[in-house]
Chain A
Amino acid sequence: MFDIIAKEEHGSILTILVIGFFFGAIILYSRLDKFEKMAGFLLFEDTLAIRMAMTTVGLSSIGFYFLVANGYASFDVKPTLLGGLIIGAVLFGTGLVILGKCPAAFFVSVSEGRIDALVGVIGGMVGGAVFTYFYPYIQKIMEPNFGKIRLPDFFTEYGMVITVVFGVLLLVGAYLLPSLEYKDPADFKNSKD
C-alpha cells in the first residue's frame, strides 16, 4: 500500500493522514456520522446533512474553478458510465437509508463506539470483495461510457458565469432551507451540563 502511494504524486503519507484526520473530525463534530443526520434527512426529520453538503459544494465549486484557472489544481472528474451510475446510485441510495451513513462516515461512527456501524463496514467489505470477484461480468452492464464530462463543457465560453451562479444558488438554497433538527436524547445522556 505505502509503496503505491510513494510512487504517486498525490501528497506524502503524512499529508494524506492529516487530510483524513480533519475529514473524520469535521464529520464527527458536525454529527454527520449519526443515523439521525443521514437517514434522518432522507426521512425529512433533519436538514443538517443537506445544508452542509450544499454549503460545501457551493463554496468548493467556486474555489475549485479559480484554483484550476490559476494553475494551482486540475479537474479530476469521474467518467459518466451511465448503466453503472443508474444501477449503482439506486443500490447506494437504498443502502444509505438503511444503514444511515455513507462510506467514510461509517468509519467515524465506528470510532464513536457504534457497533451497528461496524457491522455495516463488514457488510461493505463483503460488498467490495463480491464486486471485485464478479467485475468481469458486471463490467458489461456499466456501459455506455460518455467520458469525463462536466456541465461547463456544454457552454465553454461561460465557464466562470455558470460556476459562480451554480455556487451562489447552492449557498442561497442552503440558507433558505428550513432548520429541522432531530434531537437525539442519547446525545445528552452522558453530558453533565
Chain B
Amino acid sequence: MPKQIPWWAGGIAMSLLFYFSFSIWGADRSIGASTGMAYISTMLFGLDSSHYEYTKEIESSGAWEALMLLGVFFGGLFTSLFITKSFHISLIPTLWKERKNKSVPSRMFWSFIGGFLLVFGARLAGGCNAGHVLSGGSQMAISGFIFTILALGTGMLVGRVFYKKKKACDV
C-alpha cells in the first residue's frame, strides 16, 4: 500500500464522502467539525443547555458533529496503524523545528494558544475549515468565501511574522 495518496485522489475521495453526507441517502447535512468541538467542551466543563444559551443553540448540530469526530479519531487511528503505519509518539513537527525552535515547552505553549484561537475563532465565525471552507465553499455560501479569504490571508501574514525566514540556501 502506498504511504500517501496524491492531492487529486484525496480531493476526489473527499468529495465522494461529501456527496454521501450531503444527500438524503447519507445524513442530509454538510460536514462540520468546530460545533462538535464546542459541544464536547460544554459537556466536559458542565455548561448545560438549561443555563447556557449557546449550549442550547448548538446542541443538535453539536451532538451530530461530536459523534462524527469520534469516528474521525478512529478513522485516523486505523489508517495510521494499518495503512500508512505512521503511528508514533511525537512532540514537535519537523517544520516547526526548522522555522521556529526545538523547545518542547515552547511548542506545547503555542499549541495550546493555537488550539484556543482555532476553536474560539471558529465559534465566532460560525464554522471552521470543514464547515466554512469546504462545505460552505461547495454551496457557494458568501459566509464561506469571506471566511476562507480572511482566515488564509491572516494565516499567511501571521506566518511571515511568527516564523523565521526560510534559509537562503533552500530557495
Please give, as numbers and ranges, the residues of chain A lying within 8 Å of B29 by CB-CB distance: 10, 76
On whether the beta carbons of A19 and B126 are closer than 8 Å, the reply is no
On whether the beta carbons of A104 and B128 are closer than 8 Å, the reply is yes
Please give, as numbers and ranges, the residues of chain B lying within 8 Å of A54 by CB-CB distance: 11
Q: CA of A17 to CA of B26 in the docked complex: distance in angstroms?
A: 11
On whether the beta carbons of B47 and A29 are closer than 8 Å, the reply is no
Please give, as numbers and ranges, the residues of chain B lying within 8 Å of A22 by CB-CB distance: 13, 17, 75
Please give, as numbers and ranges, the residues of chain A lying within 8 Å of B45 by CB-CB distance: 125, 129, 132
Interface of B is mostly: helix
Smallest CB gap from A102: residue in B: B129
Q: Pick the most buried of B85, B127, B146, B159: most chain A CB atoms within 10 A of its CB.
A: B159
Please, how many residues of chain A have a CB less than 8 angstroms from a CB on the other chain? 135
A-B pair number, CB within 8 angstroms: 510
Q: CA of A74 to CA of B41 in the docked complex: distance in angstroms?
A: 29
Kindly list 7 other residue pairs between chains A and B, CB separation below 8 angstroms, not including A43-B95, A52-B8.
A8-B63, A20-B68, A55-B14, A75-B139, A92-B154, A95-B116, A103-B34
Please give, as numbers and ranges, the residues of chain A lying within 8 Å of B3 by CB-CB distance: 187, 191
Interface of A is mostly: helix
Answer yes or no: A158 CB below 8 A from chain B CBs.
no
On whether the beta carbons of A24 and B75 are closer than 8 Å, the reply is yes
Say which residue of A29, A186, A190 sits within 8 Å of B79 (CB atoms): A29
Q: List 13 A-B contacts (CB under 8 A).
A: A5-B67, A24-B73, A25-B78, A29-B4, A55-B15, A59-B15, A78-B143, A89-B146, A90-B154, A102-B33, A103-B129, A110-B73, A135-B54
Q: CA of A123 to CA of B132 in the docked complex: distance in angstroms?
A: 21
Q: CA of A13 to CA of B63 in the docked complex: distance in angstroms?
A: 11
Listed in ascending order, the chain B residues whose CB lies under 8 Å from chain A are 3-5, 7-15, 17-31, 33-34, 36-45, 47, 52-55, 59-60, 63-64, 66-80, 83-96, 99, 107-108, 110-134, 136-147, 150-156, 158-159, 162-163, 166
**Least distance between B132 CB and chain A CB atoms (Å):** 7
**Least distance between A7 CB and chain B CB atoms (Å):** 8
Say which residue of A19, A80, A99, A128 sits within 8 Å of B31 (CB atoms): A19
Within 8 A of B (CB), among A1-44: 1-2, 4-5, 7-11, 13, 15-36, 39-40, 42-44
Please give, as numbers and ranges, the residues of chain B lying within 8 Å of A152 by CB-CB distance: 140
On whether the beta carbons of A104 and B130 are closer than 8 Å, the reply is yes
Which 9 pairs show the lowest CB-CB distances between chains A and B?
A20-B71, A55-B11, A24-B75, A88-B125, A123-B115, A99-B114, A93-B154, A95-B117, A91-B121
On whether the beta carbons of B80 and A111 are closer than 8 Å, the reply is yes
Say which residue of A33, A48, A120 sits within 8 Å of B111 (CB atoms): A120
Given A89-B147, A96-B155: A150 and B162 interface contact (C-beta under 8 Å): no
A104-141 interface code vs B (CB 8 A; 1 in, 0 out): 11111111111111011111111111111101101000
Please give, as numbers and ranges, the residues of chain A lying within 8 Å of B33 by CB-CB distance: 102-104
On whether the beta carbons of B71 and A150 are closer than 8 Å, the reply is no
Given A60-B134, A127-B115, A163-B140: A17 and B67 interface contact (C-beta under 8 Å): yes
